Amino acid sequence: MPAAPAVPVAAAAAQLPTTAEPETYTYNPAGRRDPFRSLIVTGGKRNVEFLPPLQRREVSELKFVAVVWGSLGTYGMIEMPDGKGYAVRVGTRVGPNHGVVKRITAKDLTVLERYVDFFGETRMREIVLDLRTREEGLE
């Protein structure tokens, strides 16, 4: 087999095509979300799509309809505006403003909720949901 003719290195480099400058990549973030921002909390407001059902509605929209006493403790039954009911006990989170059930009695349910007043200070308030009587439920 005949050997290939030897080509000097300088001559081989002269035969390769040359480009004026290498291509550079630029990233344009317009129209894209920030990859370092949380998917759950956006812009200081809570995204209600990811919250449990009891935390999606304001406490004032809920109705306290029953009290259940048992060997496992006292439970309250809360009805949502769409007619669905949920059992809650002391410590259950209720409402989008970090409300917590503090007390369940035979006549009412008390929720302790945070709010921001006119001066920008965070304060706590108690919201009492009275038990619906049978007459109130009939329309």
Give me the residue spans of the domains in the chain.
41-137
Is this prediction's pTM over 0.75?
A: no
Dist CA 113 CA 2 (whole Å): 92
pLDDT of residue 2: 63
Average pLDDT of span 110-123: 88
pLDDT bucket at 102, cuts 50 / 70 / 90: very high
Distances (CA, A) of 50 to 4, 25, 27: 71, 36, 31
Architecture in CATH of 41-137: Roll (2.30)
pLDDT of residue 42: 46
pLDDT of residue 27: 82
Q: Is the pLDDT of residue 128 over 90?
A: yes
pLDDT of residue 4: 62
